[in-house]
Structure 1
């Protein structure tokens, strides 16, 4: 059956949702060979994935993933697609720290560096913040700290069958788009950075069908998988079954345009240094403002403010008050204590 569906794709025919779900089930179950997986990913990248296919793929991945046992309402995720090749510091991880300090529960989905200089797991280690090793510990941290980190390989173990083909072909695939919409905590609110506007719209359509309370997909004008501080940002605002497209600039929300070079780093250590400065309110203006902007949009997606401009004001106040720095210090202290327990 997999061979027949692969041949169908090769002939330019798209898959139905059911067929796409079957194909991904075969991959997740280890029933497809590495060459078949690589062929499928290549064909899909060449002709483009349909929303119907993405829905089927995502349903399969969700059914094979491990979930965390929590009852926390209003959980947010800030996981993006990565792949913008701009070598910025870990903005979405910094945003997760800011939001959780403000009392917003965040289940941060992420991984180690694949295409970037620093993955979220890498920078959390540099920051000295705990990466929970089990779903139960993640749920406990979410309850106690308003923050947990969901290390993708732990929760998407069936993905191991696609690791080698993905590495061998070496280009971005459908899995870059599926990761952010398969959060193991089933976050109902999300800020998803996407490196390409067309993909952002497809992901918005897909998540609308899968179900979300409020999610915002963001693509920076320079191809950044975050809201941009240097150019305009295209947003797809998904509230229930409604999708609204809008464009914002830093000036629209009371911020100043910055420089890309001020937010770029070479490794996880440099990224951690910038984040430490951001939470203390001492980072360069571009770094400070890009976290403020993205945290504000995430607050809006979490339904914690009426507008992005209001969110900017709230984030600024939180950082200036010292509660974000205090929260990060507390998380660092907790890890040190657990290591010596």
Structure 2
């Protein structure tokens, strides 16, 4: 049994050298026989999912993965990513809607995401149904950004070691370990942006990501959480943004009207694309419209392109009223939308 796994199971720290050794041996399939490799990989992920390790171990793990990811090149000026950890109350794909809205008001967006873990549909599931293609390389991402002001980045932004891990686990899948992977995932993606807004649904996720965000040098990371336990900003909840320049507190009603409830933001699994497109045109209820605009405003401020919350929020509201985000989503579709179950 590898020393990294032995230490994790005993709740002992795992240093950077041990993590590097783990990934090296996984790459060369020298952890043991095939069945042993699979068993050790599953045991390691199970241990990480059951209990997040201490901050030093998590930082070492993060470093051991990101240092193996190809350099995406220089960040696109003023660009931003929005991605959440999941695990909170069920809502429709607010971060994807906010990304399209921000792009529609002139904020360059490179969006990362994943398939569903606990939600009805993750951002990748939704984009697939909308007919919007993920980029396959950093060059393709730059091209999409230049043409559309937004790009949805594909798996190439994640450490290749995770792909090897998934192949080692086969026929097991990574889904049982989604709680851990979704928590760490937002800071594992190597995205050529200058800023990132990451929503955290639980105190555990926030505590895990704060030291990692502080040590991230490739982009400025804003971590968000709120009193409702959602991984997006909510107009009817008290929100806090942890930024390198200090905390930003947005009490309920500070920017958008403090009206509505989580029920107004519930997912529509039987009308996934239809409801989402209505939301992009400001026709999915006032709570949905205000929530999308609030998150788009946060992206505008994180990017540095706006400095005033109310100005950014009003600009996003106007775009939703005009249907600009809806039009952008329609232009991005490269194949017919899936209609099954809609």
TM-score computed with the length of structure 1 as normaliser: 0.83
The 3 A distance-change label for structure 1 pair 18 and 299 is: farther
The answer to whether structure 1 residue 318 and structure 2 residue 319 are counterparts is yes
- Partners in 1 of 2:156 and 2:116 — Cα distance? 13
- In the alignment, which residue of structure 2 is the partner of 1:4? 3
- Partners in 1 of 2:238 and 2:75 — Cα distance? 37
Verify the 8 A CA contact 2:45 2:177 in the aligned structure 1.
no
The 3 A distance-change label for structure 1 pair 30 and 61 is: farther
The 3 A distance-change label for structure 1 pair 186 and 154 is: closer
Verify the 8 A CA contact 1:29 1:158 in the aligned structure 2.
no
The 3 A distance-change label for structure 1 pair 69 and 8 is: closer
Verify the 8 A CA contact 2:75 2:192 in the aligned structure 1.
no
- Partners in 1 of 2:238 and 2:17 — Cα distance? 38
RMSD (CA atoms): 2.9
Verify the 8 A CA contact 1:221 1:233 in the aligned structure 2.
yes
- In the alignment, which residue of structure 2 is the partner of 1:117? 120
Verify the 8 A CA contact 1:87 1:264 in the aligned structure 2.
yes
The 3 A distance-change label for structure 1 pair 94 and 66 is: farther
The answer to whether structure 1 residue 15 and structure 2 residue 14 are counterparts is yes
Give the structure with the higher percent helix.
1
The 3 A distance-change label for structure 1 pair 106 and 39 is: same
The answer to whether structure 1 residue 299 and structure 2 residue 300 are counterparts is yes
TM-score computed with the length of structure 2 as normaliser: 0.83
Q: Give 1:22 shift.
A: 3.9
- In the alignment, which residue of structure 2 is the partner of 1:108? 111
Verify the 8 A CA contact 2:79 2:194 in the aligned structure 1.
yes
Runs of 5+ consecutive residues of structure 2 not aligned to the other structure: 32-36, 337-342
- In the alignment, which residue of structure 2 is the partner of 1:237? 243
Q: Give 1:279 shift.
A: 2.1
- Partners in 2 of 1:168 and 1:132 — Cα distance? 22
CA-to-aligned-CA distance 1:65-120 (integer Å, 9 cap, x gap): 35656762232111221222x33111111111111112222111122223221121
Which of 175, 178, 184 pairs up with 1:178?
184
The answer to whether structure 1 residue 252 and structure 2 residue 254 are counterparts is yes
